[in-house]
Structure 1
Amino acid sequence: MPQRAGVPKAGQRRRLALLAVPGPVGRGRHFARQALEDWGWADADTLTDDILLIVSELLANACIHGGGPRELVLTASPEGLRVEVLDHEATLPSPRPPHLTTAPGGHGLHIVARLSERWGADLHPGGKSVWAELGAARLRSREPAGPGVTGSPAGRGSAPAV
């Protein structure tokens, strides 16, 4: 299958420092949209919206549960796209049961799982990273997440399954 235009064979990584930055979710979305445009993946379509929603949810979770995001990392490669948010909290995320009616919120990781092919969390010195991946085939086909696409945590020190 031909490689998607705009993605170098060796891949490319973009980093945005967010430590003590006001409005990290909005800044992260803007940064991600620019990266997607540079890589030829930002059209006015549902897939772009899915990616930006993943960025938003991971950053919002870091704001609420991780003491604020330290960094947003986007990695594009022939294998796909990885969205990663680093924070200072050393506790792995634990998704709430779906449809918990006694408390608002708690849907962020379920949304990430639904829109990505894989997601997980890894512990690092000084905190953790929570990440989501979309495969190259989906990026090339421009298909949004559908009923058959579900995320599953994977990786070293991963969070529990949703």
Structure 2
Amino acid sequence: MAQVCESLPTEQVTLAADAGAARRARRFLDDHWCVEHAALLRPQAELIVSELVTNAVLHGKPPVRLALDCEGAEGVTISVSDGDPGTPEMRRASPGAAHGRGLQLVDVLSDEWGVRTRPGGKTVWSRLLV
């Protein structure tokens, strides 16, 4: 069982599902990232948050929620929830395509990731290990 960080409890925010959501999510990450346990994971986390929030805005439904769970010396879990229960699919983007690489990036950068569906929505999560 993952331990809970005592210096930074679980933090979450509901984001407006608009073009500025990823920027606001990165700002939230800046304000709530656990530098005591996960400082070195911050660059990967920023890209994962950007991709998951952008996917939720473009392909999901409101509300869009971002949660950060520091697990102390074990790592951190990033979760993005939205109101669409449809499971995201990893795509193969053509070299010139402007979209379609988000989940591929999440897959490469995460130690683990997955999707939990529920009535009225889903949560896509990514775990980064220290």
Q: TM-score range by the shorter chain?
A: 0.7 to 0.9
Return 5+ residue gaps in structure 2 as ranges.
none
For residue 94 of structure 1, the aligned residue among 89, 92, 102 is 89
How is 1:1-162 mapped onto 2 (pairs within 5 angstroms)?
Answer: 7-8=5-6, 12-20=9-17, 23-36=20-33, 38-40=34-36, 47-68=41-62, 70-78=64-72, 79-97=74-92, 99-101=93-95, 103-135=97-129, 138=130
Letter in 2 for 1:8: E
**TM-score normalized with structure 2 length:** 0.82
Q: Which has the higher relative contact order, 1 or 2, with Cα contacts under 8 A spaced 6 or more apart?
A: 2
What is the Cα-based RMSD across aligned positions, in Å? 2.5
Return 5+ residue gaps in structure 1 as ranges.
139-162
Note if contact 1:89-1:127 (Cα within 8 Å) is conserved in structure 2: yes
* Identity within the alignment, %: 35
| Deviations 1:41-78, CA, capped at 9 Å, x for gaps | 575x6x32211111000000101111355210111113
Query: How many residues are paired up?
Result: 126
Inter-CA distance 24–41: structure 2 relative to 1 (3 Å threshold): farther
Which has the greater radius of gyration? 1
Note if contact 1:18-1:70 (Cα within 8 Å) is conserved in structure 2: yes
CA distance in 1, matches of 2:108, 2:37: 20
Note if contact 1:33-1:42 (Cα within 8 Å) is conserved in structure 2: no
The CA deviation at 1:109 is 0.5
Inter-CA distance 20–110: structure 2 relative to 1 (3 Å threshold): closer
